[in-house]
Structure 1
Amino acid sequence: MSTDPRHALNHLIEAFEHHLDVACAQDRLDERALEQAESALRDAFFLYDDVLFRRFDVELPFDMYEGDEEYDEEDEENDDELDDEDFDDSEDLDIYDMDID
């Protein structure tokens, strides 16, 4: 495993690009190829996350969870306790309105 953060980042970017290529490649989606691209993307993300943490003690601001993890009932109860007034939408950035040209 490479411990060079730049190499890990480049690998992650390549995995994102490959995933996009597979997703947009044809009218009919190749499910097997998409699953492989998703797996490669997940692995590249975890590699990058691990390299940053081991090298600089830095954590990414988000996590990826496997789909087969059990949903914790306590999490559901905590979600129910949150009210709309607990959040300030004024500073939220709507990524769908961003100009990415």
Structure 2
Amino acid sequence: MSIDPRAALSALTTALEEHLIAASARRGEEDPIVEATFLGIIDAFEVYEEALFDAFDEVTPLVIYGEDEAGFDDDDSGEALDDDLDPIDG
């Protein structure tokens, strides 16, 4: 049974909104609500990507990075590496 891409997109949008709300009310660096909504975005995106592929044989240009691939300096400053900021040729 495949999921309707529109329903999956709606769930992804909701997950993003929930993360925004949690981030704006953050209670410390490792707020469990923010972390849960962060993971919720990942889950919702994966469902959307699969639904989009199943329905239309299409994917998004987005990629979910793991902790080791996040593109941040080793010093955890939160600043992206210059190599990760290449503009998209259009």
Structure 2 match to 1:66:
66
CA offset at residue 6 of structure 1?
0.7
> Residue type of the partner of 1:36?
A
- Counterpart contact for 1:18–1:37, Cα < 8 Å: yes
- Counterpart contact for 1:2–1:8, Cα < 8 Å: no
Structure-2 separation of matches of 1:9 and 1:50: 11
Q: CA deviation digits over 1:44-95, x for unaligned, max 9?
A: 01110110011110010121122146xxxxxxxxxxxx9xxxx789x88xxx
> Residue type of the partner of 2:64?
M
Instruction: Report the TM-score, using the length of structure 1 for normalisation.
Output: 0.61
- Counterpart contact for 2:2–2:54, Cα < 8 Å: no
Structure-1 separation of matches of 2:19 and 2:2: 22
Q: Mark the runs of 5 or more structure 1 residues left unpaired by the alignment.
A: 70-81, 93-101
Partner-residue secondary structure (3-state), 1:63: coil
Structure-1 separation of matches of 2:64 and 2:87: 25
RMSD: 3.1
Q: Mark the runs of 5 or more structure 2 residues left unpaired by the alignment.
A: 70-82
Structure 2 match to 1:34:
34
Instruction: Report the TM-score, using the length of structure 2 for normalisation.
Output: 0.68
Structure-2 separation of matches of 1:57 and 1:18: 29
- Residue identity over aligned pairs, in percent, reads 38
> Residue type of the partner of 1:8?
A
